Chain A
């Protein structure tokens, strides 16, 4: 048993797991604040990344690009709130979920229509191929940077939810839309804040993933992987998104490498979902999520 190889795969898995967490974070934000499972988060990542990379390709300086893309994501949030969230405010959450599936398709189509679907090469100044050497294991430098960025973002968001007035208001909204309205919490404004923040998280995720994979349609399917991350970690938990991401990242890489030789390759396509399924059967609320109680 080659331990260094194991460590290499393990660390690689952990680090890619962190990248999943970045996408999952956007989901958690929206879910925590509105109870909506935003299936379109992946499309938002794609859209943010495409906008960013196309502006760079046009020669816009990086800081201006960041500012413009941020603005675009905020506009997107406003658009979503006006067109989709407001009309559906009292509906069952399952209806909202299906609406976000529709939204996902819409944004994917829109993003590629205006920005074109050719791959965008994104260089944010970090060498993708450089690696640290620890013993005999090679740890990719880029992955480490991504982990640090994600870690920082998570920290900021956790603090935000716990210690600010707006954070508490967001949690109230997640619990009960109508009740929140009746105590004067301005639903529309809250939702715009939340979806904008999710949009910014999507931007960060998009830039990180885009640097690694190139900005292309495939990014939005990567986002589908965030779903098992959330199941395992719990939909309402920011630390859960991290731990869930690590578990998924590690799990799929280890399964691919070690089980792949026995039962065939491509395991990472379904392994996270099976893992999520098992967690769902044992502990439906995930590792860190809140228990859902139904009252009659």
Chain B
């Protein structure tokens, strides 16, 4: 009953096309923003901020990026981590060579470089589809990993082998404690999420979905497949690059290629599939799932056995559970957690009545 939308009549197209047409949704979003920006800083401790919330946000951004490419535009990619790496390294290289550049500009530069590389490796999508395209993105993944590892130029010929990320500061305020980092990442990610949501409901979003659903028909109504796909690669890689820069600078504190290997690519793909392809909330739900599950398992494990289970065993069980969930979601609800959430909301409409 709480969630009924009866009585909410839209009298103009404008209001019907608002980003959150249902009043209750708007309230919920406002509360969520309030909680995230105001409440959490007060109640969360450093561990939660640094080890859970910040990684969650950064990976959600990467999942958002992949969702644009795979969920909306239907171009499967197994090279997400490589594009993240490009963003991280490009940002780092700019700051190292031009130290006066504010780090936010460096981040945007990282995103732009990643977008260019993304478009380059997206060119094969003009001729190949489906898992053939997945192979091309694998090429990107391995090649970029190799490039960044083998050529000292990218690491500024640093002999120590581990590059520390440059410090961040805005207008004299240093961003060096978990709370300020959290707020920074939160702001960036929320802005990006809104941007993607807006793109999805505009002409480019529809063009992407048309290409995904039936590219021959999309061409017949005048959609330029090449431009649409390359824009998808560009936007997606920009977001992934940004996420990579955040991951390196804020989560790890170091800029290293090993953080962006093929396992990371699969991790993000899993987030998108489990969370729901083609939905903004899906990116967050999927990321949340993948981050919280290991913690849950760990705690569960120690409760059941009384002592900590070896990290190796946890890792194996994680693999099994992730794999099982992927299959489960693909069978039961290919639209992932996001759709399950939607169904729950629809049930809420009637609650407490059964039908």
Interface residues in chain A, defined as those with a beta carbon under 8 Å from any beta carbon in chain B = 37, 83-84, 87-88, 91, 93-95, 97-99, 101-110, 112-113, 117, 224, 227-228, 231, 264-267, 269-270, 273-274, 276-277, 280-281, 284, 294, 296
Contacts and interface: CB of A to CB of B under 8 A. Distances in A.
A133 B270 CA distance: 49
B216 A104 contact: no
A280 B128 contact: yes
B127 A281 contact: yes
* Interface of A, helix, strand, loop or mixed by DSSP: helix
Given A101-B266, A109-B323, A269-B142, A280 B216 contact: no
A102 B138 contact: no
B195 to A, nearest CB: 27
A252 to B, nearest CB: 12
Contact of B312 (A117, A227, A270): A117
Given A95-B334, A97-B130, A274-B143, A106 B124 contact: no
Given A274-B143, A280-B128, A99 B135 contact: no
B151 A264 contact: yes
B136 A266 contact: no
B138 A84 contact: no
A274 B137 CA distance: 10
Contacts of B145: 269-270
Contacts of A273: 135, 138-139, 142-143
A106 B323 contact: yes
A276 B327 contact: no
Given A109-B316, A109-B317, A110-B320, A102 B139 contact: no
B150 interface: yes
B324 interface: yes
B273 interface: yes
Interface of B: 76, 124, 127-128, 130-132, 134-136, 138-139, 142-143, 145-146, 149-151, 216-217, 262, 266, 269-270, 273, 312-313, 315-327, 330-331, 334
Contacts of B324: 102, 106
Contacts of A267: 146
B287 to A, nearest CB: 17
Contact of A231 (B132, B142, B321): B132
Contacts of B313: 113
Contacts of B331: 84, 87-88, 99
Contact of A99 (B132, B320, B326): B326
B151 A107 contact: no
Given A88-B331, A266-B149, A102 B142 contact: no
Contacts of B143: 270, 273-274
Contacts of B270: 102
Contacts of A224: 138, 262
A88 B334 CA distance: 11
5 contacts: A95-B330, A98-B330, A231-B135, A264-B146, A264-B151
Contacts of B149: 266
Contacts of A108: 316, 319, 323
B316 A84 contact: no
Contact of B323 (A105, A276, A277, A280): A105
